[in-house]
Structure 1
Amino acid sequence: MQFAAFQDLAVDAAFQSFAEPLRAPLLRLRQLILDTGARATGLGGLVETLKWGEPAYLPVKQRVGTTVRVAALKGLSSHYAMYVHCQTTLVETFARHYPDTFRFEGSRALVFHQDEDIPVGPLEHCIGLALTYYRWR
């Protein structure tokens, strides 16, 4: 997989700060978010920035979707997560669609182990739901 270049040096630095075993899986997750955002209509593109010091992705157009963040999972050096706004119904929706596909953390995250293969199709669907949340909720 080829990774898109970083447009924001602070985001690049955030990825460089991730521990080596997690950096590659997090970069793959980043690329999946960027690719999914590029295919989605009506977003106006994606903004890549930092929120709470973590890489975050949100539609350029306002009130289309919610922010998706990626980070190492605190307390578990072998795990990482894709976070969404905890006051949405997104994780509940992901769990309804994919109850046996993902591990969930409360109402805010999908959790992955550094060595597992990400189920690309279902994860693209979840990312698309987050990036278009205000259109369908």
Structure 2
Amino acid sequence: MIRPFDDPAVAAAFDAFPPAPRETALQLRDLIFSVAWDAPQVGQIEETLKWGQPSYLTSETQSGSTLRIGMPKQGGCALYAHCATDIISTYAATFPGSDRIEGNRAVIFQQADDIVPDRLRLLIYHGLTYHLNR
């Protein structure tokens, strides 16, 4: 289901993606909202821009760390987490060799078909509940 944008600046950020990365970015966005919906402890997700990238915050509950969607320099689309967390490294250790990982900060997808929703839902859940487990 396509969720409407509340913030025109966020909608414009998605519109600025080239077509293939935009498809991937929109799929990541849908997954973030889906995971949040299924996890009541996360509360309402705030969708905003940080560093010009669509960003997802748990402002209501403070349960998680910010997740961002952006285009890495090498192309494609990426889901970013704060590099001082173990969100990406935990995901990479759980699914070694399954995705293209950029250090401790991102999972990179060349195209939407590279996303494995059931696997990625675990990363997103970890991000959105990060502070609940500390």
TM range, smaller chain: over 0.9
Structure 1 alignment gaps of length 5 or more: none
Answer yes or no: is the 8 Å Cα contact 1:43–1:60 preserved in 2: no
Equivalent position of 1:47 in the other structure: 46
Answer yes or no: is the 8 Å Cα contact 1:11–1:50 preserved in 2: yes
TM-score by length of 2: 0.93
Answer yes or no: is the 8 Å Cα contact 1:58–1:65 preserved in 2: yes
Which of structures 1 and 2 has the larger relative contact order (alpha carbons within 8 angstroms, sep 6+)?
Answer: 2
Equivalent position of 2:97 in the other structure: 100
Cα distance in 1 between the residues matched to 2:23 and 2:116: 16
Equivalent position of 1:18 in the other structure: 17
Equivalent position of 1:56 in the other structure: 55
TM-score by length of 1: 0.91
Q: Alignment identity in percent? A: 39
Cα distance in 2 between the residues matched to 1:91 and 1:44: 22
- C-alpha RMSD of the superposition: 1.3
Q: How many residues align?
A: 134
Answer yes or no: is the 8 Å Cα contact 2:23–2:112 preserved in 1: no
Structure 2 alignment gaps of length 5 or more: none
Cα distance in 2 between the residues matched to 1:117 and 1:92: 19
Equivalent position of 1:36 in the other structure: 35
- AA in 1 matched with 2:51: W
SS in 2 for 1:81: strand
Equivalent position of 1:127 in the other structure: 124
Answer yes or no: is the 8 Å Cα contact 2:55–2:67 preserved in 1: yes
Return the offset for 1:117: 3.2
More helix, by proportion? 2
Q: Please state if 1:111 is matched with 2:111.
A: no
